[in-house]
Amino acid sequence: YERKNFSSQRSFLQVVNDRLKIKEEKKEIFEKKEESNNDILPKKLELFDISKIEPAQEEAISHYGEPMMVIAGPGTGKTYTLVNRIAYLINNGIANPKNILAVTFTNKAAEEMISRINALVKDFNNFSNITITTFHGFAYSLLKEFKNLLIITPEEKDELIRSIGIKYFKKIDSFMVKRIDDALNKLKRNLISYEDNRFKDLLKNFDQEFINSFIPFYPEYQDRLRELGLFDFDDLIIEVIKKMEDDQRWLKDLRTRYTFISVDEFQDINLAQYKMVNLLAPTGENLFVIGDPLQSIYGFRGGSPEFFERFKRDYPGAKVIKFTRSYRSNETILRVSEDIISKGKDGIKPGLISGIKGERLIKIIRFPNEKEEANFIAKTIEEYVGGINLFSIDKGNFFYENENQSWDFSDFAIFYRIHQLGDAVENALFRYGIPYQRLASSSDDIKPFFSVIFGWLRLLIVEPSQIYFFDFLKKKTKMLGGKMPNDPLSFINFLKNKKVSEQIEALIDNLDLKIPDKKIKELLNISSPFEMDTASFLIFMANRDETDKYEARAKKVTLSTLHSAKGLEFSMVFIIGLENGLIPYLPDKGRFFDIEEERRLLYVGITRAKRVVILTHVKERFYFGKKHLFLPSPFLKDIKDYRIKHIQYSTKKKKQESQLKFF
């Protein structure tokens, strides 16, 4: 009563009474809905105010019935809309929570949705019945109704590729293993089996010698997986689709079970995932998808902006709306990002507006080398957080409206195209004593230890895999300085009746793995909610990616690849390595290159910034063990010149002011 600041005890009791009435009304609604075979109900209640948001958002949040596709550009409130719509459906008695399915692509995105919807739904018991998960997590939850299955670990997959590939490929080094893995993923995400006539067409970007070797490799690889009782990660969705197509009774039950389906980040969907959604919602009733085709940056996973057009064809009655108000970036940043993306082959302009003022120029800085580039970034961050605004020295008064605003380390992010480019910046931040978090590194030395732990956990469940991979696991354990139990089989049986977190602790202790305490604590915290469900924990971990490492509340600078930056936002963003060959990235011979996706990737990076974006490039960079000379990225020419302040960074030290004059 005191905490809520009610004017009187009577008004407080009135609110309690009203809430009890609401609960009874909602109970009656759900009971009626059960009796009417989940028919749509008219709106009964409105428990939160949606009158203060943009009309397009209000329309999306309150929509149900016909299929809807929302085009939501960067900073337009995509997640806000999605979670509020689900809460609106529940709080107004339109949907029974157990009939709601919301799918996304990463564990972190699913966790964020769960947290935000939980805060909006008035009855926790209702919230607990919603299905919010990743595509692969959802597929696994369906398949485990019929059989126990597990995913092959990345290291085991590499080992299996090597052991089979040596018979068909002339050279089976790490580069070739990666190429084979890429080909496997591409085919499976496009639902192409080795018996499909489109097999060769989809691999047209690979050389003929590779294709000839891959043709006999693929079926043997799949046969070996089946013998071991294991699945590729992408096999999960393929298996669900097969089951849906073969068992119409089960499919009908799923369609009855999930009558309200939402898909987040629709631009990232691949053919297999799209097919699964289409099978669940063939008519599109209460199907809601939201995303942005201009932020489609996961072509290597099968994602494509083409699915937006396909959605319109498959659901001709769909309602399509577009958000144009950005709540994140100032107008200068929006215009610069629009300059770049609109020069793509389709010439599409996002048309976003924010009304947020900012300096009319952005800075593009050229450095002699990556060391100077990294030192500049570290020093700039240090000065800002220390309260000295370097840019205020500029006559242009870079932050004319916010000169005195305090800055925190968490306000800054550095993005790059490939992991290696982050190394120099990380070293500079370390030297300057600046706290940082790196979402992934080019040499994450903790991954092999986790791989060993997961390999041992997997032995608790799938018996056939023990035969083939046990020797491999023993070798990996010893390579990492660990020791084998005296009686491995007895040790495995000892672990079986323990909680997942207890299994992990026992493995670390008994194998004598030297893992930092912080990483152990992190792993135990993640595993704790899974209780005794080792299989679900392994699926969850298989679905983890770089973004899962991001700590939003940490007072640290963030280093990330551009791919992992999507979904994040920062006050100041540095995008480094804007050189031809890096952005756009020109991969090694034999690997596919998509200039349009590279353009979209830069667009995503720039639109992570709220107030400031600084683009940098160097003349000379130490790259993959050699020094290379670079020209600026051709994308920089697409930015209108009157929006840019070009700076040629100098290392001359004749005067203290010689560097400061540039900014």
Q: Whole-angstrom Cα distance, residue 179 to residue 196?
A: 20
Question: Among the three residues 193, 209, 231, which one is the final residue of a domain in this structure?
Answer: 231
Q: Do 134 and 242 have their domain in common? A: yes
Q: Do 521 and 496 have their domain in common? A: yes
Q: Do 607 and 573 have their domain in common? A: yes
Q: Whole-angstrom Cα distance, residue 99 to residue 95?
A: 7
Q: Do 560 and 535 have their domain in common? A: no
Provide the CATH number for the domain around residue 628. 3.40.50.300
User: What is the reported pLDDT for 146?
Assistant: 84
Peptide bond into 282 cis (omega under 30): no
Q: Do 345 and 285 have their domain in common? A: no
Question: Among the three residues 231, 259, 276, which one is the final residue of a domain in this structure?
Answer: 231
Q: C-alpha distances in angstroms, 591 versus 285, 373, 563, 588? A: 40, 29, 18, 6
Q: What domain range includes position 380? A: 331-389+404-440+551-648
User: What is the reported pLDDT for 181?
Assistant: 93
Q: Do 515 and 419 have their domain in common? A: no
Question: Taking a C-beta distance cutoff of 8 angstroms, is the pair 47, 91 a contact?
Answer: yes
Count of domains observed in the chain: 4
pLDDT per residue as tens digits for the range 69-82: 999 999 999 999 99
Residue 12 included in any domain: no
Q: Do 348 and 433 have their domain in common? A: yes
Q: Whole-angstrom Cα distance, residue 505 to residue 526?
A: 13
> Among candidates 290, 288, 297, 289, which has minimal Cα distance to 268?
297
Residue 497 included in any domain: yes
Q: Do 288 and 198 have their domain in common? A: no
User: What is the reported pLDDT for 481?
Assistant: 80
Question: Among the three residues 202, 231, 260, which one is the final residue of a domain in this structure?
Answer: 231
User: What is the reported pLDDT for 232?
Assistant: 87
User: What is the reported pLDDT for 259?
Assistant: 97
Q: Do 142 and 244 have their domain in common? A: yes
Residue 290 included in any domain: yes
Q: Do 191 and 142 have their domain in common? A: no
The C-alpha R_g of the chain, in whole angstroms, comes to 27
Q: Do 483 and 632 have their domain in common? A: no
pLDDT per residue as tens digits for the range 267-298: 999 999 999 999 999 999 999 999 999 999 99
User: What is the reported pLDDT for 272?
Assistant: 96
Q: What is the mean pLDDT of each run of 10 residues along the chain (663 residues)?
A: 40 47 46 41 38 84 97 95 95 94 92 89 76 94 82 85 94 92 92 81 84 93 87 91 96 97 96 97 97 93 93 96 96 97 92 91 96 96 73 39 72 95 95 91 60 82 60 77 83 88 90 82 87 85 76 91 93 97 80 85 97 96 88 96 90 46 36
Give the ranges where 390-516 is alpha helix by DSSP (H).
422-431, 447-458, 464-479, 488-496, 500-511
pTM of the model: 0.83
User: What is the reported pLDDT for 387?
Assistant: 52
> Which two three-digit tokens encode residue 291?
């995303």
Is beta strand 609-623 parallel, antiparallel or unpaired with respect to 557-561? unpaired
- Apex 73 CA angle, 71 and 75, nearest 5: 135
Q: Whole-angstrom Cα distance, residue 253 to residue 242?
A: 16
- Write down the residue that tokens 């999605």 correspond to: 82
Q: Give the phi and the psi of residue 96 in degrees, each rounded to 5.
A: -75, 130
* Enclosing H/E stretch for 575: strand 570-575
Residue 47 included in any domain: no
Q: C-alpha distances in angstroms, 600 versus 76, 305, 319, 343, 481? A: 17, 11, 25, 10, 44
> Among candidates 96, 83, 46, 107, which has minimal Cα distance to 542?
107
